[in-house]
C-alpha cells in the first residue's frame, strides 16, 4: 500500500502516530520490559498447539516488523507506533482490513503506564479512525476489549464508540481464551471527526 493512506505520519500536538521501524527495536523493547506486568493481562498470547503439533513461538522484533510491513504493503494493516513528546510510548495497529462489500478494520493498542491518563490513547485512536474514514476509505472500525479493562473501555467511550455486545472466548489473552466487548463506529457516525470530538470533550471538561 503506497499512497496517501500509507506510509503516513499523523500528529496532534505532542502525540504522533508513525510507521513502526526496525530501528525502533531498542526503544520498543525497553518500553515493553518496563511495562511487562502492566500489559500482561491484556496481551495476546499464542494458544497451545493441537495434539502432535509443534509449539508456536513468539516472533522476534525483526520478524514482527517485517510481518507488519508486508501486511501494510498488502493493504491489510496500518502498523503505527505512538510517540509522545519525542519518545516511543506505545503501539496502535489497524488490522484485519477488509475491502469489497465490508470495508472495515479493527484497532488494537497499548500504551506506557507512565503516560496513561494524559489523553495520549484517545488522541491516537481518534487520529487513526479519522485517517481510516477520510483517507483509507473504510466504512467501519471496531475495537474489541476485555470487560475487565476499564482504562481501555474509557478510551472508546470518550470517543463515542457504540457498544455492540459480547464475543465469548474471542481472543487468546494472558494464557486463555477471553471474552471481549465489541465497540464500533461507522463513517456516518463520525462525520464530525473523532479528533475534533476529543478536543471538544477536553474543552468541556476544562470548564467543569
| Sheet with strand 162-173: strands edge to edge | 10-12, 15-19, 78-84, 87-98, 104-111, 140-145, 176-186, 162-173
Instruction: Name residue, grid cell 506510509.
Output: 7
Residue 12 DSSP SS3: strand
**The three three-digit cell numbers of residue 158, written as one number:** 470518550
Instruction: Name residue, grid cell 522484533.
Output: 61
**Can you point out the beta strands (E) in the chain?**
10-12, 15-19, 78-84, 87-98, 104-111, 140-145, 162-173, 176-186
Half-sphere exposure in the Cβ direction for 193 (13 Å, CA) = 9
Q: What is the pTM of this model?
A: 0.93
Residue 90 DSSP SS3: strand
Residue by residue, pLDDT tens for the chain (208 residues) are: 667 899 999 999 999 999 999 999 999 999 999 999 999 999 888 888 777 666 667 889 999 999 999 999 999 999 999 999 999 999 999 999 999 999 999 999 999 999 999 999 999 999 999 999 999 999 999 999 999 999 999 999 999 999 999 999 999 999 899 999 999 999 999 999 999 999 998 877 665 5
Which pLDDT score is estimated for 207?
56
Distance, in Å, from the CA atom of 47 to the CA atom of 14, rounded to the nearest integer, reads 37
Chain centre to alpha carbon of residue 67: 16
Distance, in Å, from the CA atom of 50 to the CA atom of 59, rounded to the nearest integer, reads 19
Which pLDDT score is estimated for 202?
85
What is the CATH superfamily name and number for domain 10-206? Gcn5-related N-acetyltransferase (GNAT) (3.40.630.30)
Which pLDDT score is estimated for 206?
61
Q: Residue ranges per domain, the chain?
A: 10-206
Distance, in Å, from the CA atom of 20 to the CA atom of 146, rounded to the nearest integer, reads 25
Amino acid at each position: 500500500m503506497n499512497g496517501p493512506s500509507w506510509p503516513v505520519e499523523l500528529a496532534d500536538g505532542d502525540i504522533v502516530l508513525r510507521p513502526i521501524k526496525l530501528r525502533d527495536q531498542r526503544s520498543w523493547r525497553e518500553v515493553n520490559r518496563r511495562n511487562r506486568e502492566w500489559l500482561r493481562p491484556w496481551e495476546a498470547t499464542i494458544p497451545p498447539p493441537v495434539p502432535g503439533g509443534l509449539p508456536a513461538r513468539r516472533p522476534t522484533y525483526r520478524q514482527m516488523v517485517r510481518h507488519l510491513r508486508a501486511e501494510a504493503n498488502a493493504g491489510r494493516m496500518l502498523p503505527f507506533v505512538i510517540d509522545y513528546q519525542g519518545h516511543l510510548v506505545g503501539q496502535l495497529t489497524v488490522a484485519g482490513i477488509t475491502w469489497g462489500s465490508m470495508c472495515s478494520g479493527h484497532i488494537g493498542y497499548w500504551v506506557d503506564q507512565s503516560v496513561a491518563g494524559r489523553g495520549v490513547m484517545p488522541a491516537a485512536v481518534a487520529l487513526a479512525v479519522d485517517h481510516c474514514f477520510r483517507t483509507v476509505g473504510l466504512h467501519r472500525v471496531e475495537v474489541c476489549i476485555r470487560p475487565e479493562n476499564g482504562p481501555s473501555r474509557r478510551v472508546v467511550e470518550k470517543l463515542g464508540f457504540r457498544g455492540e455486545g459480547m464475543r465469548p472466548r474471542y481472543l487468546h489473552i494472558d494464557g486463555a481464551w477471553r471474552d471481549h466487548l465489541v465497540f464500533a463506529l461507522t463513517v456516518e457516525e463520525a462525520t464530525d471527526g473523532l479528533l475534533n470530538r476529543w478536543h471538544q470533550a477536553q474543552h468541556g471538561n476544562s470548564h467543569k
